[in-house]
Structure 1
Amino acid sequence: MKVEARLFDVTTAFFFLSAVIYGFWAKEPVGIVALILTGGLSLIIGSYFHFVARRMERRPEDNPDAEISDGAGEVGFFSAGSYWPVAIAASGGIAAVAIAFWQVWLLVIGLVLVLSAVGGLVFEYHTRPNATD
């Protein structure tokens, strides 16, 4: 996680430095505020990665002397045939169109569909703890 934290440290510094330079150069308040807020969001993510990196054991990505084979092994479980991401995208599109045209009834339907699709994705492989067949 230290690599990711360093990446966000660099982007945070870039955005804050850009805000200062933009402030002297353009003197336009909206762009300055946007760059400061972007730097703040980057700072939040970088701080989270620093926080998590202190509590994790060292990964091969954090070791400059690591070999490629050090990162071998099981990465995790990824569903190859899940249709739930498509459902999330479609229902998110419905919600976005509802916001664009400010159709509250369609927004309610879109949000219900988004929540249902996210629930389907999260619980796709969930089984009951004491399932008896």
Structure 2
Amino acid sequence: MKAETWIFLITTIFLALVSPAYWFITGDWTGTSALVMTTLLTLMVAIYLGFHASRMEPRPEDRKDGEIAEGAGELGFFPPYSWWPLWCAAVLGVMVFATAFGAWWLFIMGAAGGVLTLSGWIFEYYRGEHAH
């Protein structure tokens, strides 16, 4: 994780140099604010990764004497395909559309559909084809 920490630190330094330069060249508050927030976000990730890298054992790719075979094995759980995110996004689109046009009745229908689709997404591993 030390390599990832350095990548984010270098990105933070770059953005810290670019942000004031952007302000002096353009005088644009919006872009400057976005660059400053991006700088702070990359700094936050760098601090998080650095904190955890110092508290965990080095991975094989972090050590100079690490071998490729040491990284073999299970990497984690990767969920299979799912249609629920599509339906959740569609319901959210309906709710945003209803908010934009002031159709409270459509928003309520979207919220009810949102409860159903979000429940389906949360509980998809407890029933059906991918049940555990």
Kept after mapping to 2: 8 A contact 1:8/1:46: yes
> Does the C-alpha gap of structure 1 residues 79 and 12 become closer, same or farther in structure 2, counting only changes over 3 Å?
same
Aligned mates of 1:56, 1:64 — CA distance in 2? 16
**Structure 1 residue aligned with 2:56:** 56
Identity among equivalent pairs (%):
41
Aligned mates of 1:15, 1:99 — CA distance in 2? 36
**Structure 2 residue aligned with 1:131:** none
Structure 1 gaps of 5+ residues are 128-133
Kept after mapping to 2: 8 A contact 1:3/1:62: yes
> Does the C-alpha gap of structure 1 residues 71 and 16 become closer, same or farther in structure 2, counting only changes over 3 Å?
same
**Structure 2 residue aligned with 1:73:** 73
Aligned mates of 2:121, 2:49 — CA distance in 1? 25
Structure 2 gaps of 5+ residues are 128-132
Q: Which runs of 4+ in 1 moved over 4 A?
A: 98-120
Kept after mapping to 2: 8 A contact 1:3/1:61: no
Report how far residue 16 of structure 1 moved.
1.1
Aligned mates of 1:97, 1:63 — CA distance in 2? 52
Aligned mates of 2:111, 2:94 — CA distance in 1? 9
Kept after mapping to 2: 8 A contact 1:4/1:49: yes
**Aligned positions, number:** 127
User: For the aligned residues, what is the CA RMSD?
Assistant: 3.0
With normalisation by structure 2, the TM-score equals 0.69
